Structure 1
């Protein structure tokens, strides 16, 4: 079973959604048969490589949102994150364009380490105040996750994975994705948002049963055998 997850490194609910999904996946009996693919999405492609201001300033100035309302909203998100063992520090978040971070994730996917790099980027951005638009920060995050600094610099110098990132954007539009995180199971089921772990668990079970239906085996060609049901037992 394949699960594609569209998300943005700059999305606070995406990290929370990752944790809740992982809780469900880790309890899923067929976990080893599940392939997870991280897909790219940008909440604001127009952001400069670096924005001078806090997360709150950015949302007020660029999105026109009310400061007092935003403070309450960020408090709610922070509380939800704490519930998943995450420690957001919105006052220290560096607002930056996430395009190159997405290229780094695609590079990591080519080396089989996309989940580790995705995790490191989200944690660096929301918990440690790292600038995900800064080349040196991306190299540091990537190398700590096992990638080569030479490969990272080459990929970013040449925009090696830019087309793949943009392809993910186009796929999201084609699927009607308007917000993230967004989970797609076997291209049949979609889950929008950082849903509770039990919602992910139910979806995993449903998708698995549909992809792997139970086949009945009748011994000796018999249509039925002795069994008990709601109306009693066969004699």
Structure 2
């Protein structure tokens, strides 16, 4: 496989990225995928579709429970496990200029935020959905905002350019719940249990937050697979 053969291929690439808005490695993967697409020989032939997935759909809404405390409970009361998990995520993200403020980050149910990401995709396509995902992730990890609080979601959505009345209507209903569930069901049908998870052209897949070079190799491999 060569850079030249990737450049000469006429294959259009659809890249699906399943992620959870409260998964630190999903934020890392999103940034690295974007960097890989920009470095690819034919970036305009790549469509990135951000897909929804909840790692823990049963997380209660509200409560302002610190993420560190939530991880301690999940891991049998061992606070050191949560501390090490957060420290490792921060270390991985440092190279991507992402900042996690674990002293402020609070546990959140991501379902409603995922629904608003689906709304953003319908209103403004991939670019607006990407902006919404980025804003929610930044709010959760860097600003200590509760992205399951409807007032917070309303404000963050307005900052992204979403219509405020439309956001209010979605949050007051179950609109786009089916979009989120469909994404999750499709992922589970492929055996996905964690995020991030990337699929290119429905057959080449990688899991976890890979390097930019890995994502670039995935793109080039798909581009040359049918040549």
Query: What's the TM-score, normalizing by structure 2?
Result: 0.90
Select the residue among 90, 98, 119 that pairs with 2:110. 98
State yes or no: 1:81 paired with 2:96: no
Q: Which of these two proteins has the greater Rg computed from alpha carbons? A: 1
Select the residue among 196, 199, 205 that pairs with 1:184. 199
Select the residue among 208, 223, 227 that pairs with 1:193. 208
Q: Distance in 2 between matches of 1:77 and 1:176?
A: 24
Q: 1:190 aligns to what SS in structure 2?
A: strand
The Cα of 1:22 is off from its aligned counterpart by 1.5
Q: Distance in 1 between matches of 2:220 and 2:30?
A: 18
Moved over 4 A (4+): none
The Cα of 1:65 is off from its aligned counterpart by 5.8
Select the residue among 136, 156, 180 that pairs with 1:165. 180
State yes or no: 1:150 paired with 2:165: yes
* Paired residue total: 212
Aligned to 1:226: none
Q: Distance in 1 between matches of 2:159 and 2:181?
A: 26
5 Å-filtered alignment, 1:1-235, equals 1-64=13-76, 66-111=78-123, 112=125, 113-211=128-226, 213=227
The Cα of 1:75 is off from its aligned counterpart by 1.1
The Cα of 1:77 is off from its aligned counterpart by 1.1
Q: Distance in 2 between matches of 1:165 and 1:69?
A: 30
Aligned to 2:10: none
Q: Distance in 2 between matches of 1:72 and 1:60?
A: 11
The Cα of 1:69 is off from its aligned counterpart by 2.9
Runs (5+) with no aligned partner, structure 2 = 1-12
Query: What's the TM-score, normalizing by structure 1?
Result: 0.87
* Structure 1 stretch displaced more, 59-68 or 36-45: 59-68
The Cα of 1:63 is off from its aligned counterpart by 3.8
Larger relative contact order (Cα-Cα within 8 Å, sequence gap ≥ 6): 2
Q: 2:49 aligns to what SS in structure 1?
A: strand
